[in-house]
Structure 1
Amino acid sequence: MKTIIVKIDKDNLKDDFAVSQLEKAGEIIRNGGLVAFPTETVYGLGANALDEEAAKKVYEAKGRPSDNPLIVHISNLNMLDDIVTQVPEVAKKLMDAFWPGPMTLIFNKSGLVPKGTTGGLDTVAVRFPNHPIALELIEKSGVSIAAPSANLSGKPSPTMGEHVIDDLDGRIDMIIDGGMVGMGLESTIIDVTSKTPMILRPGFITYEMIKDVIGEVGVDKAILSKPTADFKPKAPGMKYRHYAPEADYSIYRGTAEKVADKIIMLANEKADKGFKTGVITVDQHLNLYQRKLNKDIMVVSLGNLDKPETIANMLFKTLRDFDKAGTKFIFGEAFSQHNVGWAIMNRLTKAAGYNIIDV
């Protein structure tokens, strides 16, 4: 398949080229094809959410397990009428507070939504994104768009157009390259079908923010521990290996000094044996590694501990950069799980295959 690849500036959507390309992308979606596009979180791989055959193409293009649900993206609240059976009051409060934005809600689905979109479930995940290209594409297509992250299943989520091209060029109809996304972490997912709303995936909208709006909120146990093989995921990212680099990646938890000493010892051992090796740290800890590591070791800071949004934004790009460098072993630090740090550690823990070592 020949993939159409176009660059569009999100700040110039009235440009004749942008209009024509978005109209073409909308037509592809309507006709059952696949289009990758940027959102404020990560890039999504879009298909007509109400077309079961189109949903199947998403799973095939990604190599995604068929029981892993897709998120349905809308561009206005009226689109919910065709997708869900009811909107609980607690959902309305969350929508008023956080939509459009990086929050996905789990509703009971309508009969129009095929189970091919929902991973066989009677519930549907819905998001109202806050990105001009995503919103314009939904409008131009005239349908709600089912869109998981636009990467091969299991690989780090794409935060730049080139990441999508690396994974899906030749596998889908069109890629809209809108530059680097603003957040770099997928949306927070909240199940509003249960008596107590339940967080199924952490994100930029934190537990504390949700609690401030609706009061009592639970946390699904699958976030806190490795799911069992028979676990049936109710939302994306709950069961399967995700975000993983090609390298053997392990995370070390403890005081900054003890973690650095352990990582330096292990990384040097691997590098001395000729393995391409990487270290993940933060700005505040870079000095702990200076002059102590083998000069061939690739040391990357994700950003500033005092600005967790910078760490979140660089997380998936860093893992992909290690892949491109041919890294065989990655040693990384654990992060505080306060606020956005919870979402960061959730992604890193899955990327490392739950391989966290206390030192």
Structure 2
Amino acid sequence: MTARPGDIDSAAIDSGAIDSRAIDRAAEVLRGGGLVAFPTETVYGLGANAADGAAVARVFQVKARPPSHPLIVHLGGAEHLDDWAAEVPAAARLLAERFWPGPLTLVLRRGRRVPLETTGGLETVAVRVPAHPVALALLEAFGGGIAAPSANRFGSVSPTTAGHVRAELGDAVDVVLDGGPCPVGVESTIVDAMGEVVSILRPGGVTREDLEAALGRPLAAPATSPVRVPGQHPSHYAPRAQVVLVEPEEVIAEAERVQESGHQVGVLLPPAFAGAEVKAHAVVALPASMAAYAQRLYAFLRELDQRGCDLIVASLPPEQGLGAAIANRLRRAAGPRPTA
């Protein structure tokens, strides 16, 4: 079966049932060294055969991603963990048992089958089992690990629908599997699990509170680990518009000030100010639920770009639970942009 770049296999899920033809076609593309974008519970991933250095190199090329930034290897189940990691400490096995499938990535020592292209030249490997039926069906049909960062240009807003993938990457992806909107909406939590002392390297869909409850002890501070992982670049998850962060009670005044100065301002309006009139180009009223906010965060940023905003005024949510992941993404989105 020949892949036709430009297609979206929108029948990947049909009335709750997965289209096995679409899955088989995508698995064949992966075996041939091609690229498949597929849904996970977090964001859409741009996948390649994790054991094929040449295929992985194409992921970096399509994303314009620095080759030193490691990729996450997606597995079909925790039973495959020892195939990809040189050693798996007891804490890592406990977390895998508790949170997989799910939005948790474990950083472990690289197994010999993992090429350095996949790990960004590091002797560590990041692995997870996604909690999405299309992703799991693809992994089962393929029969190996799939290296997959988010399916977008490096540093830009992550995709949470198949349409986002095609709009940004176009025909550079051989197959796009459409599994609908991603239910979590922010990337996985990444933890350094190489020893019994576990630390969060990137907050995400599994909260610090849940990890500490599972381990029965507090997590170490992130600064204790020198490990390089995805999502650490100062400017990341960024829309085209500049993002400015202020205190929640200052959002309306700051938005109106910069709108009057000539900007086309978009506003992420905190729930406490729902219904308030704001003199701005575009206003998105944020949901009170952190889960709903996380699920739609990237769609909100894309919407404000599409509505012609050149500046977005936002504030950080309380940094408990999923609020920590949202705040991390907003800080990166507001980070210093690379100069031409």
**What TM-score results when the alignment is normalised by the length of structure 1?**
0.87
C-alpha contact (below 8 Å) 1:184/1:315 kept by paired residues = yes
Q: Which residue of 1 aligns with 2:32?
A: 31
The AA in structure 1 aligned to 2:240 is E
Match of 1:2 among 2, 5, 21: 5
Match of 2:304 among 312, 318, 322: 322
What are the within-5 Å matches in structure 2 for residues 43-58 of structure 1? 43-58=44-59
Q: Which residue of 1 aligns with 2:274?
A: 286
Match of 1:217 among 209, 216, 219: 219
Q: Which residue of 1 aligns with 2:120?
A: 119
The AA in structure 1 aligned to 2:22 is Q
C-alpha contact (below 8 Å) 1:25/1:137 kept by paired residues = yes
What is the distance in 2 between the residues matched to 1:97 and 1:38?
Answer: 22
Helix, strand or coil at the partner of 1:140: helix
Match of 2:242 among 234, 242, 248: 248
Q: Which residue of 1 aligns with 2:183?
A: 182
Q: Which residue of 2 aligns with 1:77?
A: 78
Q: Which residue of 2 aligns with 1:337?
A: 319
The AA in structure 2 aligned to 1:32 is G
What is the CA-CA distance between 1:300 and the residue it aligns to? 0.5
C-alpha contact (below 8 Å) 2:153/2:168 kept by paired residues = yes
C-alpha contact (below 8 Å) 1:85/1:108 kept by paired residues = yes
1:271 aligns to 2:259 (yes or no):
yes
C-alpha contact (below 8 Å) 2:119/2:125 kept by paired residues = yes
Which ranges in structure 1 are unaligned for 5 or more consecutive residues? 224-231
C-alpha contact (below 8 Å) 2:12/2:23 kept by paired residues = no
Q: Which residue of 2 aligns with 1:312?
A: 294
The CA deviation string for residues 196-234 of structure 1, in whole angstroms up to 9 with x for no partner, is 1111011121111111121242131399xxxxxxxx762
What is the CA-CA distance between 1:239 and the residue it aligns to? 2.6
What is the CA-CA distance between 1:272 and the residue it aligns to? 3.4
What is the distance in 2 between the residues matched to 1:273 and 1:340?
Answer: 34
What is the CA-CA distance between 1:268 and the residue it aligns to? 2.7
1:347 aligns to 2:329 (yes or no):
yes
Which ranges in structure 2 are unaligned for 5 or more consecutive residues? none
Q: Which residue of 1 aligns with 2:23?
A: 22
What is the CA-CA distance between 1:26 and the residue it aligns to? 0.2
What are the within-5 Å matches in structure 2 for residues 199-238 of structure 1? 199-214=200-215, 215-221=217-223, 234-238=228-232
Fraction of identical pairs, as percent: 39
What is the CA-CA distance between 1:282 and the residue it aligns to? 2.7
What is the distance in 2 between the residues matched to 1:166 and 1:188?
Answer: 26
C-alpha contact (below 8 Å) 1:50/1:112 kept by paired residues = yes
The AA in structure 2 aligned to 1:316 is Y
Aligned residues: 333
Match of 1:297 among 281, 286, 290: 281
RMSD: 2.0
Helix, strand or coil at the partner of 2:159: coil
**What TM-score results when the alignment is normalised by the length of structure 2?**
0.92
C-alpha contact (below 8 Å) 1:222/1:239 kept by paired residues = no
C-alpha contact (below 8 Å) 2:77/2:100 kept by paired residues = no
C-alpha contact (below 8 Å) 2:88/2:194 kept by paired residues = no
What is the distance in 1 between the residues matched to 2:148 and 2:166?
Answer: 16
What is the distance in 1 between the residues matched to 2:147 and 2:13?
Answer: 21
Q: Judging changes above 3 Å, is the alpha-carbon distance between structure 1 residues 5 and 128 closer, same or farther for their aligned structure 2 residues?
A: same
C-alpha contact (below 8 Å) 1:154/1:240 kept by paired residues = no
Helix, strand or coil at the partner of 1:93: helix
The AA in structure 2 aligned to 1:72 is V
